[in-house]
Homo-oligomer: A and B are copies of this chain.
Amino acid sequence: MEFTCKAFSDRSYKVHFEWGILHRLRGILESEKLTGPYFIITDKNVYKHQHRRLDEALKGSNFQYHVVPPGETSKSLKEWSRIQDFLLKKEADRRSVVIAFGGGVVGDLAGFGASTYMRGLDLVQLPTTLLSQSDSSIGAKVAINHPNTKNLIGSFYQPKLVITDPSLLQSLPPREFSAGLGEAIKYGVISDPDLFEMLHRNIENVLSFQREHLTSLLSRCIPIKIRVVEEDERETGLRKILNFGHTIGHALEQATGYKLLRHGEAVAWGMLAAGYIAIHRNMWNPEESEKLKSIVVRSGALYPLGTLKNKDIIKALKHDKKKTGKSLNFVLPERTGKVTIVKDISQEEVRAAVDYILQFRH
């Protein structure tokens, strides 16, 4: 399948989605006049498990790897700066192509690195996780973290191409795969009742990597993400619906120092909390909220929260609120497939929702 994402300006990029498409990578790159040299940014885990396949796909062309440590802590000024040094040392110039080969962290870090070297090198996103394939590789957001604030430093930078090969997911550790389902489930709630139903019926089949179900999942998530970012690349309006589950989710990540939880896991917990608030406002059908709970529980994305306390989460929420100078926005479902942004959520509602999810913390 091939999708086109039209950016805010007169530019657009293609998202190629196909099992085993990695084999055809070189031909696709060359047909887009991306002839290299290629500078591949990846992390240690992806390099270990997948580099042979990429070596094979790029055989005969000029390519080099730069390997970063795995995990969110690599979205740092230090690793970004090391990418600039690497590109300079290897004499990358304006013909060079940066390939982000990994999950959301690698996509964000390599994308920001590509966006700033010589005022921007061509970028190809080659996502290897469920989260990056279904979500983060599309939409042009790239960033690193400030010690105090996630994604503070970054830009909107369109890739030239996104190449999505679900066969790359086979080597994912189960936890990584489950975490990736967090954002996929989100797409069901915010935009696609059929996807939501499919997940409710077949989440186990997705988890056991059944090709048919995984294809169905990705081929639904990708166009939703494309449609939302096409309408609002700069996140001034519609794109905010993508933040369903992210208000509490971000607070959970922050309260646990970005170390305990994967992003998709934090979002899964955040969706549970948002669903709780929505049904207690009589905005959403409790039956649907129960379905959401069932899906996220069965997905395995609810990684245990350990000893985290209600007050830690509330403190992180307040920090977030202070930082952005804005009131706390919650994205809440009106019905499955349709969400709205609500700004008048009270302290009590938040506290009750946090208490609710903390019941399931272990």
Whose C-beta in chain B lies nearest to the C-beta of A77?
B81
**Interface residue from B93, B119, B148, B152 paired with A143 (Cβ < 8 Å):** B119
CA distance A259 to B146 in the complex (A): 31
Whether, in the assembled complex, A117 has its beta carbon less than 8 Å from a beta carbon of chain B, the answer is yes
Stretch at the interface among A153-161, A162-170, A185-193, A308-316: A153-161
Stretch at the interface among A51-59, A285-293, A322-330: A322-330
Whether, in the assembled complex, A8 has its beta carbon less than 8 Å from a beta carbon of chain B, the answer is yes
Interface residues of A in 195-216 (CB under 8 A from B): none
CA distance A142 to B143 in the complex (A): 18
Verify B88–A149 contact, CB threshold 8 A: yes
Verify A325–B119 contact, CB threshold 8 A: no
Verify B115–A155 contact, CB threshold 8 A: yes
Report B-chain residues with C-beta under 8 Å of the C-beta of A143: 119
Chain A contact residue count (CB 8 A cutoff):
34
Verify A91–B154 contact, CB threshold 8 A: no
Least distance between A160 CB and chain B CB atoms (Å): 13
Verify B323–A91 contact, CB threshold 8 A: yes
Verify A322–B146 contact, CB threshold 8 A: no
Least distance between A136 CB and chain B CB atoms (Å): 14
Interface residues of A in 36-88 (CB under 8 A from B): 77, 81, 84-85, 88
Report B-chain residues with C-beta under 8 Å of the C-beta of A95: 325
CA distance A182 to B305 in the complex (A): 63
Report B-chain residues with C-beta under 8 Å of the C-beta of A8: 9-10
Verify B88–A155 contact, CB threshold 8 A: no
Report B-chain residues with C-beta under 8 Å of the C-beta of A149: 88
Whether, in the assembled complex, A337 has its beta carbon less than 8 Å from a beta carbon of chain B, the answer is no
Given contacts A88-B149, A119-B143, A148-B88, contact A93 B326 (CB under 8 A): yes
Verify A120–B155 contact, CB threshold 8 A: yes
Report B-chain residues with C-beta under 8 Å of the C-beta of A171: none
Verify B152–A155 contact, CB threshold 8 A: no
Whose C-beta in chain B lies nearest to the C-beta of A142?
B119
Q: Mark A275-314, 1 if CB is under 8 A from B, else 0.
A: 0000000000000000000000000000000000000000
Least distance between A229 CB and chain B CB atoms (Å): 13
Least distance between A246 CB and chain B CB atoms (Å): 16
Whose C-beta in chain B lies nearest to the C-beta of A140?
B119
Whether, in the assembled complex, A141 has its beta carbon less than 8 Å from a beta carbon of chain B, the answer is yes
Report B-chain residues with C-beta under 8 Å of the C-beta of A324: 93
Whose C-beta in chain B lies nearest to the C-beta of A91?
B325
Whose C-beta in chain B lies nearest to the C-beta of A11?
B9
**Interface residue from B77, B84, B146, B151 paired with A146 (Cβ < 8 Å):** B84
Interface residues of A in 101-150 (CB under 8 A from B): 115-120, 141, 143, 146, 148-149
Q: List 14 A-B contacts (CB under 8 A).
A: A10-B10, A85-B146, A88-B146, A88-B148, A88-B149, A91-B325, A93-B324, A93-B325, A116-B155, A117-B152, A117-B153, A118-B154, A119-B154, A120-B155
Binding site for B on A (CB under 8 A): 8-11, 77, 81, 84-85, 88, 91, 93, 95, 115-120, 141, 143, 146, 148-149, 151-156, 322-326
6 further contact pairs, Cβ within 8 A, besides A115-B155, A119-B151, A155-B155: A84-B146, A84-B153, A93-B323, A116-B153, A116-B155, A119-B141
